[in-house]
Structure 1
Amino acid sequence: MRVTANSLPTALIDQLNNLSVRQRQLQTQAATGQRIQNPEDDPSAVRRALDLQAESEKIGQYQQNITRQNELGTASFTAVNSLKSVTDRAGEIATLADGLKSPQELRVYANEITQLLKTAVNVANTKNRGDFLFAGTKTDQPPFVLATDSNGVVTSVTYQGNETLAEHEISEGVTVSTQVPGANTSGTGAHGLIADPRTGADLFNHLIALQNHLLAGDTAAVAATDRAALGKDEDNLVFNLGTNAALQSRLETEGAILKQRQTSVAGLTSNEVDADLATTLVQLNQTQNAYQIALQSGASVFKQSLMDYLR
């Protein structure tokens, strides 16, 4: 094959251009730590990296959901624990209010029950980030409305929330809620915190009944009905505390699993897109040396060609 006079310079220029481009690529990789700067650098790796990024974002959302549910669960646990303190004291009063107590002593107990009722309603209307915890999905209004007579005696407490709970996805297809409705009379779903016919719980109405019996001096009714009723309310609160603790334990486990997954995905993504600095620097040095050798070779060829021409 005949080699023209222009073929050598053209081939050299092409080689120098290629080496120059390769140098810039390696310099950029060394500076950024990224092996891929453009999709065309490695289309398959880019596709895999995008899939891993999508998975990482999904895991991140699950982690945020777990954090939110943990926050709600902690706030709910604190509130339920406070309600249990109310039932503990109400139970003590129901036990103390026997036939040996004077009408005046019973009225003192009744006044304390009234105050406990008001405290319990305030607790049941607890907010978290501006939302009412025990209102179901009707979080923009207090779930419980208390009414009193002209003497400040509680006459009723009405529930205006619902039984529906907002759930968050914590893994693929798995949703949970650490909240409970203030009341649930449907017979299905999460147990109502204050009232639920499945457990016989009806805390506010039971406290109102105890208050009224004490005001009336009816210690027989206190012994016959109020003590047992309050026992059901306390059992229901204990059930909710146990359920809450179990859910938070589950969230902690799921969170640990997601953390491991996120670390694994980050490692896989790094394998796809990150440059190996040591290898990159070696390749950069080799490319720079090749570039210098090509320049020197080109200079020698051009010098020899010029001398031949002058002869």
Structure 2
Amino acid sequence: MRVTSNTYPDTLLGHLQRTTKDMNMLNEQVSTGQRISKVSEDSASANRILDMQEEKGRITQFSKNAARAQNINNTTISQLQNFIQISDRITELATLADGLKGPDGMKAYAEEVDELIEHAMQSANAKFNGEYIFGGINTGSEPFASTVVDGKITAVSYEGAAEGAEFHLSETGKIRPYTDGATNEQFSEFIGKMIELRDALETGAVDAVTPAMRKNLESSEDDLIFALSRQGSVQMRIEFDLTLNQQRYTDLEENISAEADVDIAQTVVRLTQVQNAYQASLKSAGQVLNRSLLDYL
């Protein structure tokens, strides 16, 4: 068989080009730590990585939603605790008023109740991040409106929405960290009962504070405790979903790493082998291509 004079150089050139390509690829893998730089290098792995990265993006958004819901819920719990502290003192004053004989003592209690009414209104119209937390979806305006006569609150009404915004915590899970409209109406009723107690105390009459008033105040405190308990359940749900999202995010990072990252030690060994083969090819080519027909005469 006749072998042309350019057969060996062409074969050598093709071999060196392939070896150079392998060296460049391995050098890039060592420098970046990534096994795949283009989809064409491993389309199946690349598609799996893209899917997992997309899921990581969704989980990141879910975690942000959960963090915001948690902050809103924490603020709500804090204000409910304020309500309960106010309720405890109001119930105590209503009980103490039963033993008072003079109008001066009654009016002193009335002044304290009036201060507590103002405090309750501040909690009712509390904000988080510039938004009213008890307004439902109407977060831009005060949810509790008051009528003021001679510098005193004489009536309170709830003017917020029936429900608050919903937050997606996972693909299928969602939650409302706000109290609903019915619960907020109970807050309004509680402040109304405080106003009733203050007005009764201001009369100075011994029997102005009736057993029915005390019973109504106790009923309102039960409503407040129930509302606090419900928000505690919301908190547990948010924390549960946050933990699941964090675990899933960690799992995805590990899976992506397994698909995309290279074993540096093995890659360095392979790179050294390819470099040695390249040098050997060059040396061998130099020896062969330097020969001429005179070497065989």
- Aligned residue in 2 for 1:142: 142
Structure 1 residues 27 and 217: CA distance shift in structure 2, 3 A: same
TM-score by length of 1: 0.90
| Aligned-partner Cα distance in 2 for 1:154–1:47 | 64
Is the Cα–Cα contact under 8 Å of residues 143 and 160 in structure 2 kept in the other structure? yes
1:230-263 deviation line (CA, Å, top 9, x unaligned)? 1111111111111122221222222222211111
| The one of 287, 291, 298 aligned to 2:285 | 298
| Aligned-partner Cα distance in 2 for 1:97–1:35 | 79
Deviation (angstroms), 1:307: 4.4
| The one of 273, 277, 290 aligned to 1:286 | 273
Is the Cα–Cα contact under 8 Å of residues 100 and 206 in structure 2 kept in the other structure? no
1:158 counterpart SS class:
strand
Structure with the higher fraction of residues in helix conformation: 2
Is the Cα–Cα contact under 8 Å of residues 167 and 176 in structure 2 kept in the other structure? yes
| The one of 223, 233, 244 aligned to 1:246 | 233
Deviation (angstroms), 1:223: 2.4
Give the partner amino acid of 1:245: G
| Aligned-partner Cα distance in 2 for 1:13–1:244 | 74
- Aligned residue in 2 for 1:69: 69
2:212 counterpart SS class:
helix
Deviation (angstroms), 1:39: 1.5
- Aligned residue in 1 for 2:23: 23
Give the partner amino acid of 1:25: M
- Aligned residue in 2 for 1:174: 173
Is the Cα–Cα contact under 8 Å of residues 125 and 132 in structure 2 kept in the other structure? yes
Deviation (angstroms), 1:99: 6.2
| Aligned-partner Cα distance in 2 for 1:153–1:285 | 86
2:101 counterpart SS class:
coil
Structure 1 residues 102 and 194: CA distance shift in structure 2, 3 A: farther
Deviation (angstroms), 1:274: 1.0
- Aligned residue in 2 for 1:89: 89
Structure 1 residues 72 and 219: CA distance shift in structure 2, 3 A: farther
TM-score by length of 2: 0.94
Gaps of 5+ in 1: 185-191
Deviation (angstroms), 1:81: 0.5
Matched, 1:51 2:51: yes
Deviation (angstroms), 1:129: 0.6
Deviation (angstroms), 1:194: 4.9
Identity percentage of aligned residues = 32
Is the Cα–Cα contact under 8 Å of residues 213 and 219 in structure 1 kept in the other structure? no
Is the Cα–Cα contact under 8 Å of residues 23 and 275 in structure 2 kept in the other structure? yes
Is the Cα–Cα contact under 8 Å of residues 117 and 207 in structure 1 kept in the other structure? yes
Could you tell which deviates more after superposition, 96-105 or 116-125? 96-105
Deviation (angstroms), 1:224: 2.7
| Aligned-partner Cα distance in 2 for 1:253–1:291 | 57
1:265-310 deviation line (CA, Å, top 9, x unaligned)? 0011011111110111011011101101111121122023x24578
Q: How many residues align?
A: 297
Deviation (angstroms), 1:218: 5.1
1:235 counterpart SS class:
helix
